[in-house]
Amino acid sequence: MKIAILSRNPNLYSTRRLLEAGKKKGHEMLVIDHQKCVLIIEKSRPHIFYKDKEITGVNAIIPRIGASVTFYGAAVVRQFEQMKVFSAVESQALVRSRDKLRSLQLLAKAGVDMPKTAFAASPKDIDNVIKQVGGAPAIIKLLEGTQGIGVILAETYNSAKSVIEAFLGVEVNILVQEFIAEAKGADIRAFIVDGQVVGAMRRQGAEGDFRSNLHRGGKATVITLSKEEKTTAIKAVKKLGLAIAGVDMLQSKRGPLVMEVNSSPGLEGIEGATGVDIAGRIIEYVERNEFHESQ
């Protein structure tokens, strides 16, 4: 098979591991920078140019689309889909997962529990927003934030009100969420491939930081998920239509609470913590489904 990884940086750990895993299984692997693709939309013949050459012969793609380029990245994935190329992450699921508000609405409708969340546009509603999430402390998140950037812990009512007023004053969309004290600055990530949990880790925030993101100094250790945690993670991924995803959850008194479903989860932390060949599992998933598509 000829498998293309859509990635802007071939030196990233996740990209390198997928290349290694694919080559190990005998596939022709290449990296395509999706931002440098030119899409040709033409009746009955959609095609793509990359570095002035038309892309041909690709059997499958593995999108590694950064949050900052979701719109163009999703368009490239969609073009490959129209060219009858199998995608490990469907374009529609990618777009759906990147819209944090829409994702939470879909998960809530499906019965997936999460920290209570409020969304408002008018400064006149701030008092009620804070009240509805249980008061202070409260978590304030930018809708466009990633890797812990744009996530604020407001420890008092006045600080929460000031931060929300500031964001709404410059028309920045935010979510306000319930603070789960018992999580103690830690969360768990379940890595899902083709409807199965293939690895899980507990991420503990750096000292003095309530955010558990590994990019911000957090540490990861392997864990065994409870039955409820596994069921919750799989249900969340299925609802968003993702075959490959990282589900971030908080361990709370009322059970697992989903914070986010990541459609382009990094491999370094999860492989390092678990010792599982996650990249190999992804390649196996692509093999099964490309074969099925070609029948």
207 and 233 in a single domain? The answer is yes
Residue 106 lies in a domain: no
Distance of CA 196 to the CA centre of its chain: 16
Residue 35 lies in a domain: yes
70 and 45 in a single domain? The answer is yes
Which tens digits make up the pLDDT trace of 36-56?
999 999 998 999 999 999 999
Q: Assign residue 287 a region: left if phi > 0, alpha if psi is -120 to 50, beta otherwise?
A: alpha
Residue 97 lies in a domain: no
Q: What confidence score (pLDDT) does residue 292 get?
A: 58
Q: What confidence score (pLDDT) does residue 207 get?
A: 64
Residue 288 lies in a domain: no
237 and 197 in a single domain? The answer is yes
**How many other CB atoms are found less than 10 A from the CB of residue 225?**
18
Give me the CATH number covering residue 141. Answer: 3.30.1490.20
Give me the CATH number covering residue 8. Answer: 3.40.50.20
Q: What confidence score (pLDDT) does residue 76 get?
A: 98
Q: Assign residue 27 a region: left if phi > 0, alpha if psi is -120 to 50, beta otherwise?
A: beta
Residue 206 has what DSSP assignment? P
Distance from C-alpha of 159 to C-alpha of 162, rounded to nearest angstrom: 5
Q: What confidence score (pLDDT) does residue 143 get?
A: 81
46 and 16 in a single domain? The answer is yes
Task: State the total domains in the chain.
Answer: 3
240 and 174 in a single domain? The answer is no
Distance of CA 160 to the CA centre of its chain: 27
Length of the chain counted residue by residue: 295
Give the mean model confidence (pLDDT) for residues 11-24.
97
Global model pTM greater than 0.85 = yes
Residue 127 lies in a domain: yes
Q: Where are the alpha helices (DSSP H) in the chain?
A: 13-24, 70-82, 91-98, 100-109, 126-132, 157-169, 227-240, 268-274, 278-294
List Cα–Cα distances, 57 to 3, 30, 54, 90, 105, in angstroms.
Answer: 9, 12, 10, 19, 39
Q: Which of 116-120, 121-125, 147-151, 165-169 has the lowest mean pLDDT?
A: 147-151
Q: What confidence score (pLDDT) does residue 200 get?
A: 97
Q: What confidence score (pLDDT) does residue 219 get?
A: 81
Domain boundary pick from 40, 71, 89: 89
Which tens digits make up the pLDDT trace of 56-84?
999 999 999 998 899 999 999 999 999 99
- CA quadruple 31, 32, 33, 34: dihedral sign: negative
196 and 169 in a single domain? The answer is no
Domain boundary pick from 69, 89, 109: 89
**Sequence letter at residue 156:** T
162 and 225 in a single domain? The answer is no
Give me the CATH number covering residue 206. Answer: 3.30.470.20
Residue 37 lies in a domain: yes
Judge whether residue 118 has pLDDT over 50.
Answer: yes
pLDDT band at 295 (very low <50, low <70, confident <90, very high): very low
User: Coil, strand, or helix at residue 127?
Assistant: helix
H or E stretch including 199?
strand 196-204
191 and 162 in a single domain? The answer is no
202 and 216 in a single domain? The answer is yes
Judge whether residue 283 has pLDDT over 60.
Answer: yes
173 and 200 in a single domain? The answer is no
Give yes or no for a contact between 6 and 55, defined as CB atoms under 8 angstroms apart.
Answer: no
Q: What confidence score (pLDDT) does residue 135 get?
A: 95
Residue 278 lies in a domain: no
38 and 85 in a single domain? The answer is yes
User: Coil, strand, or helix at residue 32?
Assistant: strand
171 and 232 in a single domain? The answer is no
Q: Over the chain, what is the mean pLDDT?
A: 91
Residue numbers of the domain that contains 231:
182-263
Residue 234 lies in a domain: yes
